[in-house]
A and B are shown apart, each in its own frame.
Chain A
Amino acid sequence: MNKRIILGISSVAAVLAIGASTVALTGFGMTERSDVTYMTDGPSFADVADLTKASKAVAHVRVVSMGASHTIAFDKAAAVVSERPNGNPDKDKGGAQLSTTPAGTPPTGILKTDFVVEVLDNVRGPGLKKGDQITVSQIGGQIATKRPDGTAGTQIVANAEHDPLMKVGDEEVLFLNQDKASGAYFTTGGGMGRFNIAANGTLTAVDHDSPIARVANGKPASFLTNAVKAVN
């Protein structure tokens, strides 16, 4: 009799626990978060002069708002199969081996996000003036997936390596180029063209590995803006 009672109570407890977990996960809006980073290759810049010359404009800005993320679709191109490499005797003697890892589902594009930034100071270049609000595009973004039942699924947050998404309210010095197609701006060299300005006015290079980070980090913002203005 006691065993039946204990079993019954255990069963009810288990069902309640499972239910509570499910409610906690879905009913209360709890979602999985997946942090994604795009690894990249692109032009690099040795110094401030190099970066400045590759930019259309340089501006001290404040990030005003973040727009919705969208996907840049890949070209719909067919696959081309080429011959398996050979000529490495050590590898060739083993014969052609096949991967033991099953294929995954390829993505259809990469995320991008537009930010609105306010120009606080036009450091260099024509076309921008204090008070202007311009759009700056970045690779990466946030996108929410839904489960088959319609409830919130995974929240994917994608950032490009060394070029994390800008944060609303932050102040940065941006080295900019302009997309002729959309009119939006983008930073030169991704994170290499971004320098965060802390509340105390000091600089931190967003790409902490860039050569310019070594000379600019911890210096006042005027160190960078004066260096930009001095470039012929």
Chain B
Amino acid sequence: MRFPSPFALRGRSLALAGLMVLATAAAPLAASAHFLGGKWSYGGGVLLPLSYVNNTSGFSAYTTAVSQAASNWYATPTPSDLYSVGSSGNITLSTFSDSGVSYWGVTQIWANQQTCFLFICWTSNSEIPYNTYANPTNLPSGWSNYTSSAISFNRYTMDGLTAFMKLKVATHELGHAQGLGHPDVSPYCTAIMQQGYLSFNTPQAHDKYDFDALYPGYWTSPWAC
């Protein structure tokens, strides 16, 4: 009967320990999903049709970017189904010009909030209290689903961006408007929901996974990173 050498055992143990250390060290490199809290009303397993009003007439570069950004989301294996209307949309997109900030785009989201004091309760339509969650999470107590969203592009800071980057910003902001937040990402895991200059301008595997996690049942994108 042969027994393994104690040195061989030690070697395997060391190798295993080394692998575990590597795995632990590599874990923070993975992107943790980020969600804003709350979402649009969604029955599950179906499309999520949301209308948008593209108030960018006269600023054709932005008109194009918004239209292409909606197509970007439509093309993903997610329930995202954004469509353009002339008025009364779920999401409103506008431009402004402010030379006193460095931001490119800003997104706001509203939801109904029931507030109670003693036994008197009332409902108001307020902007959501943004947060970052690793998993899809409801808004705090009293809040219901999103009712509307507004996206605005700062022409002063964006006019100098390439068409490629304008599309990146529009796709990023439409991601916010649908409930996605900024993920913590590593160089090995990319997402359109990252801030700043990127070498791509379409939703990435991580974004699709997040979207399907937030609105489950229609599609299940594989976990990417």
Chain A residues engaging chain B, CB cutoff 8 angstroms: 17-18, 20-22, 24-25, 32, 34-44, 72-75, 77-85, 87-88, 90-91, 94, 96-107, 109-110, 112, 137-139, 154, 156, 158, 160-161, 177, 179-182, 184, 186-190, 193, 209
Chain A neighbourhood of B152, CB < 8 A: 74, 110
Q: Is B104 in contact with A77, judged by CB distance below 8 angstroms?
A: no
Extra inter-chain contacts (10) besides given A79-B87, A160-B106, CB under 8 Å: A36-B108, A39-B181, A41-B103, A44-B197, A75-B94, A85-B75, A98-B49, A103-B51, A110-B152, A181-B100
Task: Choose one: B98, B110, B195; the contact of A42 (CB below 8 Å).
Answer: B195
Chain A neighbourhood of B83, CB < 8 A: 84-85, 96
**Is B204 an interface residue when CB atoms closer than 8 A count as contact?**
no
Residue of B nearest to A98 (CB): B49
- Number of A-B pairs whose CB atoms are under 8 Å? 221
Chain A neighbourhood of B56, CB < 8 A: 77, 80
**Is B85 an interface residue when CB atoms closer than 8 A count as contact?**
yes
A230 CB to nearest B CB, Å: 23
Q: Is A180 in contact with B105, judged by CB distance below 8 angstroms?
A: no
Q: Is A91 in contact with B74, judged by CB distance below 8 angstroms?
A: yes
> Would you call the interface of chain B mostly helix, strand, loop, or mixed?
mixed
Known interface pairs A39-B176, A72-B96, A74-B95; A25-B53 also in contact (CB < 8 Å): no
Determine the distance from Cα of A95 to Cα of B152 in the docked complex, in whole angstroms.
30
B128 CB to nearest A CB, Å: 8
Q: Is B59 in contact with A75, judged by CB distance below 8 angstroms?
A: yes
Residue of B nearest to A158 (CB): B127
Chain A neighbourhood of B146, CB < 8 A: 101
**Is B58 an interface residue when CB atoms closer than 8 A count as contact?**
yes
A106 CB to nearest B CB, Å: 4
Q: Is B120 in contact with A21, judged by CB distance below 8 angstroms?
A: yes
Chain B neighbourhood of A96, CB < 8 A: 49, 83
Known interface pairs A102-B147, A103-B88, A139-B101; A77-B95 also in contact (CB < 8 Å): yes
Please provide the 10 A-B residue pairs with the shortest distance between their CB atoms, ordered closest to farther.
A104-B148, A44-B196, A37-B130, A179-B100, A85-B74, A103-B88, A106-B92, A74-B94, A36-B127, A78-B57
**Is B107 an interface residue when CB atoms closer than 8 A count as contact?**
yes
Chain A neighbourhood of B88, CB < 8 A: 103
Chain A neighbourhood of B124, CB < 8 A: 32, 34, 154
**Is B182 an interface residue when CB atoms closer than 8 A count as contact?**
yes
Determine the distance from Cα of A177 to Cα of B97 in the docked complex, in whole angstroms.
16
Determine the distance from Cα of A102 to Cα of B84 in the docked complex, in whole angstroms.
15
Can you list 14 A-B contacts (CB < 8 A)?
A21-B117, A24-B117, A37-B127, A39-B130, A75-B58, A80-B57, A99-B50, A101-B50, A104-B147, A106-B53, A106-B94, A139-B103, A190-B101, A190-B102
